[in-house]
Structures are given as C-alpha cells and as structure tokens.
Amino acid sequence: MYSGRSLLPRPRPLPLLLVTGGGYLGYQHYRKKGLQEDGAPPSPASPTQVALYRSFPMRFISRTWGRINEVELPTWLRKPLYSLYIWTFGVNMQEAAVEDLHHYRNLGEFFRRRLKPAVRPLCAASCVISPADGRILHFGQVKNSEVEQVKGITYSLETFLGPQQHLNSSSYSPSSPSSSSFKDLLLSSPENDLFHVVVYLAPGDYHCFHSPTDWKVALRRHFPGSLMSVNPGVARWVKELFCLNERVVLTGQWQHGFFSLTAVGATNVGSIRVYFDQELHTNVPRYSKGSFHDHGGVVCLDKEGVALHKGELLGEFNLGSTIVLLFEAPKDFKFNLLPGQRIRVGEGLGSL
C-alpha cells in the first residue's frame, strides 16, 4: 500500500553543503595549482569565495574535534594511533619530556606534550627569540600600516590589533588620509620602527608557545571569529585571513617600546589557552561578528600588567596554528631569518 511518503531520501543541508563546497574548493585548488605550474601567480580569493569558505561550520567542527581530543583512549590503542600520527607528521618524540606513548591518555594530552628542558636552549645573543616551533611565513618592517601575512598578501594593522587607547589623541583619526598614522602612533620614538614576524605551527610541531622576550603585558584582547585553515596555501589565497580568524592579542611594552604577540586560531584549533588568564574562553558557540573582548590589567594580577621573561612558557594551541609578533625596535634592527625556514623555540629572530 502506498503510504504517501517519498521514496527519495530527505536532503540533509550540512552534508550537502560540505560535499558541494568541498568540491568547489577542490576545483579551485587544482585550478590554482595548474596556474602555478604554468608560471602564473595564484590570484587571491574573491569575496564570494571567502564567504563560501566561511559558511562552512568550522567552529562547530573544531569544537567537536576538541571533544574527541579529550576522550580517553584504551591503553592498547594509544601506541598504534600515536605512532601513525608521528609517522604522518614527522613528530620527534625523542624531544618529549615523556617518550612513552602509553602515558598520553588522549589526543589532547599528546598534542600538548611538553619537551625536555635542554632541547630548547635560549639564544643569548638575540633580544627577540622564536616563541614557537614552526616555519617562518614572513618577516620585515611594517609599511603603511599594512602587514604581509605571506609575500604579496597583506592585512590591516589596525583591523588586526583593534583600536588602541593611546591613539585617542587629536592627531589621529581612523579616517585620516595618512595611511601610516596608526603605525606611527604605536611608536614611542621617531628613531624606532615597527617590525613583524609570522611563525606557522604545523600539526606535527610542538604546540606550546613561549615569551619571545622580557616584556610586560598590559592588555589581553580576544577577537572571536572564523576558524579557517592558516596553512601557507590558504594564507596566500585569503587576504586578511589573520583578521578574519579568531585570535588572542597580547599587547604591552618591552625595552624598546610597543610589543605584541598574537595567537591566531585555525581549523581544529578552536582552543587557545594563555596560562595566566583563566577567564579566556575561545571558540564559544555564539559571538557577535566584528566584536572583541578586552581584559586590561591583565587578569587578577597587579594593575601594572603581567611581567614575562624571555623563554617563559606562555600558552598552548590544540593541533597547530600561527603566532604573529609585532614590535617596536630601533631602525637598525636586523632579522637573521630566511622566508620559509624552520625555526624552534629559543632560536634568535634578529639582533641590534
């Protein structure tokens, strides 16, 4: 007897979106790869392409992944599962404080594994050291208040950091025709300049990050946002990727003036933890687009801020992401880096 029900399965919006969107992005990837092989540079994503990418439920997926990471694994499964991950991403377990794979009860503990103290010595000759293990995506001087996330692809310094309280002077206005005014007013001296460096953490890297110098954090600012991938291919494709993604910005002062460290979230990296800030909660289910949340003073410590020492353990990611340093220094500061080079915590970034 005919029941009146359709013989066709009811369409499910989420799988349909993932399949069609994934197919489209896959097509774009191979199209760009073909253009690169022909010698043509890849073109940045259009606003429509970025909107489609951002429509994927990356925050939900990342929260789900976070829950999976905390599921305790049976002892017999730990070694084969972690060994597969080690082989896939080239993890060096000889550096881990605990090399026994059975020790890590879940994937989260394995991702956040600590290192033996001696394997990351601090460079005494450099005033700024790498805060994380990873790869250098870009570095240099900040020009015209535009910062390069990779070569040729920039983002707005003001959008990335958000408004600064000390810029509320009569000499600065967001609509000022001088594109360099925001950058210039971050500087404490005309003899200095603003520098930046971007470190990308791959899934196989050590996932904790450390203080890159002796400095004092005066403000923690949390920007909820998207959780798009930050791998170099996507960073070359999506303009202002670092401004669209969720991030935690720490700003303060060091011996030469302004200093900031920003931890940028990514797909499956919804959790960004800063050890001195127990009130920070990232990748919450709901947020207002374009919003940010400040914590001045910073969090249940003295009103003058949080003093951090060079190499001090500062925070952690789940899986991998990106660290952006922006700092003021004398104009003769020189980076001792090459684009794309591998770097480890404690290695020098540059010198005066």
pLDDT, tens digit, 9 for 90 and up, residues 109-157: 898 899 998 899 999 999 999 999 999 989 999 988 888 877 777 888 9
Residue 41 covered by a domain: no
Most confident of 164-173, 219-228, 284-293, 294-303: 219-228
What would you report as the CA-atom Rg of the chain, rounded to the nearest whole angstrom?
Answer: 22
Cα–Cα distance between 11 and 18 in angstroms, integer?
Answer: 13
Residue with tokens 């040729």: 152
Query: What's the total number of domains in the chain?
Result: 1
pLDDT (0 to 100) of residue 296: 65
Q: Which of 44-53, 177-186, 218-227 has the lowest mean pLDDT?
A: 177-186
- Residue 154 or residue 269, greater confidence: 154
pLDDT (0 to 100) of residue 40: 47
Residue 48 covered by a domain: no
Backbone angles phi, psi at 191, to 5 degrees: -80, -5
Cα–Cα distance between 157 and 161 in angstroms, integer?
Answer: 6
Question: Is the pLDDT confidence value at 87 over 60?
Answer: yes
The domain in which residue 269 lies consists of: 128-163+181-351
pLDDT (0 to 100) of residue 86: 94
Residue with tokens 């920007």: 223
Instruction: For residue 164, give every residue at least 6 positions away whose Cβ sits within 8 Å of its Cβ, in sequence order, or none.
Output: 185, 186, 251
**CB-based contact 321:269 (threshold 8 Å):** yes
DSSP 249: E
342-343 vs 134-141, strand pairing mode: antiparallel
Residue 90 covered by a domain: no
298 falls in which pLDDT band (50, 70, 90)?
low
Question: Is the pLDDT confidence value at 168 over 70?
Answer: no
Question: Is the pLDDT confidence value at 300 over 60?
Answer: no
Residue 233 covered by a domain: yes
Cα–Cα distance between 219 and 162 in angstroms, integer?
Answer: 12
Q: Which of 169-183, 263-277, 290-304, 313-327 has the lowest mean pLDDT?
A: 169-183
pLDDT (0 to 100) of residue 270: 59
Cα–Cα distance between 23 and 300 in angstroms, integer?
Answer: 48
Residue 110 covered by a domain: no
CA 294 from chain centre, in angstroms, equals 18
Q: Which of 14-28, 302-316, 323-337 has the lowest mean pLDDT?
A: 14-28
Cα–Cα distance between 142 and 194 in angstroms, integer?
Answer: 6
Residue 15 covered by a domain: no
- Residue 169 or residue 263, greater confidence: 263
Question: Is the pLDDT confidence value at 46 over 50?
Answer: yes
Positions annotated as catalytic residues are: 133, 210, 321
Residue 338 covered by a domain: yes
Q: Chain-wide mean pLDDT for the chain?
A: 80
**CB-based contact 242:265 (threshold 8 Å):** no
Residue 12 covered by a domain: no
DSSP 245: B
Instruction: For residue 203, give every residue at least 6 positions away whose Cβ sits within 8 Å of its Cβ, in sequence order, or none.
Output: 89, 319, 320
